[in-house]
Amino acid sequence: MSASDEGAPRAAGVRSRIRSVFTDAGVTGWMHALDLGSGAEVGVGADTAVSTASVHKLCLAVTVQRLADEGRIDLDEQVESVPGDRTPGPTGLAMLRGPVRMSVRDLLAMALTVSDNAAADLLIDRVGLAGMNEAMHALGLRRTVAVQAMRDLIASVDEDSGGDTARLASDPALLARLRVLDPARANRSTPREMTRLLAAVWRDEACSPDRARELRAVLGLQVWPHRLTSGFPFDDVRVYGKTGTLPTLRNEAGLVEYPDGGRYAVAVFTRAARPAARQPAADAAIGTAARLAVRALRAM
């Protein structure tokens, strides 16, 4: 049974409630939730193109694992990162003052768990944007496209704001100029394609079973519980995910796993009307929308 935007009438009620959650939080939202067991789904704008921000690191992770399966990348290879040659970011390698050597496997863990931009770019330099897009195309995700590394994304924000990024939190006109907020010019996907990617990881279809298992384990170690996880405050429910954040954008794609074996891929993307740097209502709306969608799927 399908309960997508154009699907069964019984899903109309939950879609209406999810839209209300977005409205009350002051955001425009798009989301898709998929029951990996039954194939039932709930969507709100599920096929809308969205700027993925750091959620696109999921695509990078799958690409790395697929290339490792093919013997084209060694997960144990040691990579050196030196100060002055690191992509900026608030977490991970960018915080460190000395040189660092770590494996490709550990760089991937940093990119996923703390959304480390510097670690992600070291990996993107190895697999290439074209390699990422080839991997997504091979999985049938034709609207999931990488057009820039993290360093280029950050540079474009600086360029579009005239070097005055502090003004972004108070100047809507300046925000409107940011290319990274335009899915036509930024790394992009759709909520439905992101849940399809997650489903492929959990079904061992995105890469070999051993590498998929390793990827799932790392996604379960993400350090931020304020978005998707906030909707499932239960000790016996596991939440795996990857966040994405840009000015006005708050995103997360992940997998919710219940103790009875129910597994639900969820992707929620939001854009706030307010330019404030902190958006707690938007963060909470992601968890609430996910909870409503999963609850509906479990009742089908």
Segment 147-156, tens digit of pLDDT = 999 999 999 9
Give the mean model confidence (pLDDT) for residues 101-111: 98
Region of poorest pLDDT, from 6-10, 50-54, 192-196, 293-297: 6-10
Backbone angles phi, psi at 56, to 5 degrees: -65, -15
Q: pLDDT at residue 76 above 70?
A: yes
Give me the mean pLDDT over the 245-251 stretch. 95
* CA 71 from centroid of its chain's CA atoms: 26
In Å, the largest CA–CA distance within the chain is: 58
First-to-last C-alpha distance (Å) of the chain: 8
| Per-residue confidence band for 10, with pLDDT thresholds at 50, 70 and 90 | low
Q: In this model, does residue 5 exceed pLDDT 60? A: no
Q: Which two tokens stand for residue 149?
A: 């590394």
79 membership: H or E segment, kind and range: strand 78-81
pLDDT digits (tens, 9 = 90+) for 185-235: 999 999 999 999 999 999 999 999 999 999 999 999 999 999 999 999 999
- Strand, helix or coil for residue 118: helix
Q: Which fold has domain 9-298?
A: Beta-lactamase (3.40.710)
Burial class from Cβ neighbours inside 10 Å (0-12, 13-18, 19+) for residue 258 reads middle
Q: How far apart are CA 180 and CA 53, in angstroms?
A: 8
Please give the model's pTM, rounded to 2 decimal places.
0.94
The ranges assigned to domains in the chain are 9-298
Using the predicted structure, report yes or no on whether residue 20 has a pLDDT greater than 60: yes
| CA-to-CA separations, 168 to 48, 163, 174, 233, in angstroms, rounded | 25, 10, 6, 33
